[in-house]
């Protein structure tokens, strides 16, 4: 098999565009989008005026737009070959890089409509790698409920290692309110939507641990671990459904860990987030069973494991718990006023359990010295 150095930039870009394909399917009819779609859209039609291939794309925007960008760098955010022996293929990486951007748009209450991707990679990488990466992006959009997302541009460049930057552009529903971190108030209920917190972090620990076995059972286990880390399932139907509600809602995706992101809501809203110990212990028990962890390890991963891309949000006390088909939504705590005499939290904005403030610095930080 040849390498990308023999293809040329034009052929590489063409392979990416072809592999991603078009995105004009209905999201409202997708099983993970909820009945009828949260914003009442029955069919999402392309509004791209000038598509990929010119110096820039042109879209006809008639809605409030939401923008986000994420960068993933080999050696910092992922490895192509892990100490465990597992290998990250291009499709897995494409899936995860797309999913984390879709998650950010979801956390604002919007639906992703457009993607731009910048890829840097060595010239000796296999010629199929760029197309496989784009196919992984497409797979994430299709499986997670963002089938209408269109790839409208990007760039490729030679580099000594792999680096990916994706920009996602979403649209808010006509009657929707953007979800922000600063909307939490004392008395609100705290929820998490998505898979068991700590799943991705537990998988990451497995990827980083050397494995002596090389039999078929060990290989199958590594594939399970890779999927758990590189194929998250952000609940894309939940954000738009919440944004369409007539409630004050704070929201954030759990990219850096439950405690870290709960603390961000607390700090933005100047409140305390009191996590329910029973809920955390329930998650930890499930995680311990799935990943053969001690109680202490499982609890740590639930609280501090990142890259699950769940949706953490608050609702006023009188609001009903939302229900979205196929998505687990669990209440995990209460928002409390700072320095309230009967509160279980303290005087500083943050996440608490039984009056003890949890250390958000144990969550993921690109520039942490820990």
List residues forming the annotated binding site for substrate: 77, 307, 364
> Is residue 68 within 8 Å of residue 104, measured between CB atoms?
yes
Backbone angles phi, psi at 90, to 5 degrees: -65, -35
> Is residue 43 within 8 Å of residue 74, measured between CB atoms?
no
Binding residues for Mg(2+): 55, 68, 70, 104, 155, 253, 256
> Is residue 273 within 8 Å of residue 262, measured between CB atoms?
yes
Residue spans of beta strands (DSSP E) within the chain: 48-50, 58-59, 65-73, 111-121, 150-158, 163-171, 189-193, 251-253, 272-275, 311-315, 329-336, 350-353, 356-357
What span, in angstroms and rounded, lies between the C-alpha atoms of 320 and 263? 24
Tokens of 354: 């039984």
Tokens of 136: 């992984």
Distances in whole angstroms, Cα of residue 137 to Cα of each of 20, 116, 125, 134, 193:
7, 11, 19, 5, 22
Binding residues: 55, 68, 70, 77, 104, 154-155, 181, 253, 255-256, 307, 364
Binding residues for ATP: 154-155, 181, 255
Which 3 state secondary structure label does DSSP give 95? helix
Backbone angles phi, psi at 307, to 5 degrees: 65, 30
**Terminal C-alpha separation, the chain:** 41
Residues, the chain:
370
What span, in angstroms and rounded, lies between the C-alpha atoms of 299 and 197? 10
What span, in angstroms and rounded, lies between the C-alpha atoms of 241 and 215? 45
What span, in angstroms and rounded, lies between the C-alpha atoms of 40 and 240? 10
């Amino acid at each position: 098999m040849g390498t990308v150095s023999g293809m040329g930039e034009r052929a590489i870009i063409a392979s990416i565009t072809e592999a991603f394909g078009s995105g004009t399917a209905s999201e409202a009819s997708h099983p993970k989008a909820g009945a009828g779609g949260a914003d009442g859209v029955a069919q999402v039609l392309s509004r791209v005026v000038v598509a990929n291939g010119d110096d820039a794309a042109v879209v006809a925007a008639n809605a409030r737009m939401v923008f986000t960008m994420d960068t993933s760098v080999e050696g910092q955010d992922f490895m192509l070959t892990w100490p465990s022996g597992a290998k990250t293929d291009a499709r897995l990486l494409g899936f995860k890089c797309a999913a984390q951007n879709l998650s950010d748009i979801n956390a604002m209450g919007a639906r992703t409509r457009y993607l731009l991707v910048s890829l840097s990679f060595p010239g000796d990488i296999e010629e199929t790698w760029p197309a496989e990466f784009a196919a992984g992006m497409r797979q994430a959009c299709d499986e997670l409920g963002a089938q209408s997302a269109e790839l409208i541009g990007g760039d490729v460049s030679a580099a000594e290692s792999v680096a990916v930057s994706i920009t996602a552009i979403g649209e808010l529903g006509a009657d929707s309110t953007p979800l922000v971190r600063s909307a939490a108030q004392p008395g609100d209920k705290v929820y998490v939507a998505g898979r068991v917190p700590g799943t991705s972090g537990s998988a990451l620990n497995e990827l980083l641990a050397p494995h002596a076995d090389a039999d078929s059972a060990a290989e199958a286990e590594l594939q399970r671990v890779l999927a758990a880390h590189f194929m998250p399932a952000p609940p894309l139907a939940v954000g738009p459904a919440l944004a369409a509600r007539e409630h004050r809602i704070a929201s954030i995706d759990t990219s850096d860990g439950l405690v870290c992101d709960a603390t961000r809501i607390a700090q933005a809203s100047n409140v305390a987030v009191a996590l329910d110990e029973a809920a955390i212990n329930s998650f930890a028990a499930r995680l311990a069973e799935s990943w053969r962890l001690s109680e202490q390890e499982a609890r740590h991963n639930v609280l501090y494991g990142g890259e699950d891309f769940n949706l953490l949000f608050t609702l006023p006390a009188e609001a009903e718990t939302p229900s979205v088909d196929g998505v687990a939504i669990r209440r995990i705590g209460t928002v409390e006023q700072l320095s309230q005499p009967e509160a279980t939290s303290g005087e500083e904005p943050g996440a608490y359990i039984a009056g003890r403030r949890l250390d958000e610095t144990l969550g993921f930080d690109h520039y942490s010295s820990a």
